[in-house]
Chain A
Amino acid sequence: DARVTQTPRHKVTEMGQEVTMRCQPILGHNTVFWYRQTMMQGLELLAYFRNRAPLDDSGMPKDRFSAEMPDATLATLKIQPSEPRDSAVYFCASGSEGRAKAQHFGDGTRLSIL
Chain B
Amino acid sequence: GDSVTQMEGPVTLSEEAFLTINCTYTATGYPSLFWYVQYPGEGLQLLLKATKADDKGSNKGFEATYRKETTSFHLEKGSVQVSDSAVYFCALSEDGANSKLTFGKGITLSVRP
Residues of A within 8 A of B (CB): 4, 31, 33, 42-43, 45, 48, 50, 55, 91, 93, 95-108
Chain B residues 77 to 113 lying within 8 A of chain A, measured CB to CB, are 89, 93-101, 103, 105-106
Tell me the nearest residue of chain A to B100, going by C-beta: A48
Number of chain B interface residues as a range: 20 to 34
**Cβ contact of B49, chosen from A33, A55, A100, A107, cutoff 8 A:** A100
Does B17 belong to the interface (CB within 8 Å)?
no
| Stretch from B18-26, B38-46, B67-75 that touches the partner | B38-46
Residues A105 and B97 in contact, CB atoms below 8 Å apart? no
Chain B residues with CB below 8 A from A106, complex form: 43
Residues of B within 8 A of A (CB): 31-32, 34, 36, 41-46, 49, 51, 89, 93-101, 103, 105-106
The 6 lowest CB-CB distance pairs between A and B, nearest first, are A105-B43, A95-B99, A99-B96, A100-B51, A102-B46, A105-B44
A-B contact pairs, 22 of them (CB 8 A): A4-B43, A33-B100, A45-B100, A48-B100, A55-B98, A91-B43, A93-B43, A95-B99, A97-B96, A97-B97, A97-B98, A98-B99, A99-B94, A100-B49, A100-B93, A101-B93, A102-B34, A102-B99, A103-B46, A104-B46, A107-B42, A108-B42
Chain A residues with CB below 8 A from B93, complex form: 99-101
A-B pair number, CB within 8 angstroms: 63
Given A43-B106, A108-B43, verify A103-B99 contact (CB < 8 Å): yes
**Cβ contact of B103, chosen from A43, A55, A95, A107, cutoff 8 A:** A43
Q: How far is the CA of A98 from the CA of B106 in the complex (A)?
A: 24
Residues B32 and A99 in contact, CB atoms below 8 Å apart? yes
Residues B106 and A102 in contact, CB atoms below 8 Å apart? no
Q: A48-B100, A103-B44 are known contacts; what are 20 more A-B pairs with Cβ within 8 Å? A: A4-B43, A33-B100, A42-B105, A42-B106, A43-B103, A43-B106, A48-B98, A50-B97, A91-B44, A96-B99, A97-B96, A97-B97, A98-B99, A99-B32, A100-B93, A101-B93, A102-B46, A103-B99, A104-B46, A106-B43
